Amino acid sequence: MILLLLLLCVQGNIARIIEKRQVFQRGPDHEQFKWPNNTVHYYFDDNLFDQSMSEAVLRAMELISTHTCIKFSTEPSDVMIRMESDPTQNFCYAEIGHVRPHQKFSFVSACYSSGAAAHELIHSLGFIHTHQRSDRDQYLDFKMNLEDMTPDMRDQYKIYEGQTLYVPYDYGSKNIRMTDTMGTEMLAFYDYLMINKYYECSCDTDLKCQNNGYPNPANCSQCNCPYGYGGDDCSRRAEPGQTVMATLEPQTVTIKLDAGFRNGDERQVDFIYSYLWIEAPANKSIVTRIELVSKEKCVPGCSRGGLEIKINDDDRLTSRRFCCGTGQFDRSFHSPTIVMAYNSVGLDEYIIHYRHDP
């Protein structure tokens, strides 16, 4: 008997902080939960789906299908996702994997963004949350008591055994300020890689990708690059952006990122980005301090906009993000050190102070 699992993606603070997704395989039968031919069949239920939210869902499909071998199709099939909206709910959810005819995918306005839609689609592809990985307790100081939760909530936080972990635990940093980095509505480099590994997507190509990129199964003449890298082979800076050279003397650079929607609750369906490369002489670490000039966006995970300096040894991982409060110091041993600003609403302005160590 197939166990149907509904993964609620609750909009409450704690849930938002630690939501992410992860590989979930149900033992030897896990193959049956994969979508055949890497193709996800879906339809919008005309009676139940709020069409004003279709842009977010379609954009999420575009993001996934342009970085992986997954395709989304409205062609009829035995198993299809039924896209619906329940105005009485303030959460979104999806069933995990390829499970049954008209399987559930509920998307409501509280989740409106391409990242939130992608989160649910990744459940549909067969993945659970990162915080439910079998190695979770090595990375999180998990203080919630499962015994105090309703069964639905417990399903959100319990660890699932029998998983294959294709990618590293990506929450940014082991730093205890986890609310700065976790659960943002941005598809991580490792999310795409996880999908590609699970669905065995690859390219038969001589293309050599730089900086830990890999050939993109959706377009084998280009690489999937870690954030901050661009060009066909990830050897260049992603655009738009600028490159500066650190010196011993502190210098400053300003980053402004205007996503529009200055008033009201509306925001971009997707983030806009700007990249700064800070270069330094060989073997010199780079010290940065960020000042937030514009209005604070004190949202868990900096999920409306923020600034991330890639300081992890593995700069494919999400680093700590900054959108709130006073300055943040970081030290990086990468040259270039990548600073990524992203925004979905209003004008964000940062001053970056930077220098290299003696």
Give me the residues that bind Zn ion (CB under 5 A), please.
7, 9
Supply 59's token pair.
């954009």
Q: What is the distance between the alpha carbons of residues 140 and 183, in angstroms, rounded to a whole number? A: 13
Residue closer to Zn ion by CB (options 5, 324) is: 5
Binding site annotation covers 30?
no
**Smallest separation, CB 96 to Zn ion (Å):** 9
**Smallest separation, CB 104 to Zn ion (Å):** 13
Residue closer to Zn ion by CB (options 89, 235) is: 89
Residue closer to Zn ion by CB (options 9, 257) is: 9
Which of 120, 147, 239, 308 is the catalytic position? 120
Q: Phi first, then psi: what are they for 81, rounded to 5°?
A: -85, 130
- Letter for the amino acid at 190? Y
Residue closer to Zn ion by CB (options 115, 336) is: 115
Residue closer to Zn ion by CB (options 7, 182) is: 7
Binding site annotation covers 123?
yes
**Smallest separation, CB 219 to Zn ion (Å):** 28
**Smallest separation, CB 160 to Zn ion (Å):** 13
| Torsion angle in degrees (nearest 10) through CA of 10, 11, 13, 17 | 70
249 labelled catalytic: no
| 75 burial via Cβ count (<10 Å: 0-12, 13-18, 19+) | exposed
**Smallest separation, CB 5 to Zn ion (Å):** 11
* Nearest position to Zn ion, beta carbon: 9
Q: Which segments are annotated as binding site? A: 119, 123, 129
Report the catalytic residues: 120
Q: Which segments are annotated as binding site for Zn(2+)? A: 119, 123, 129
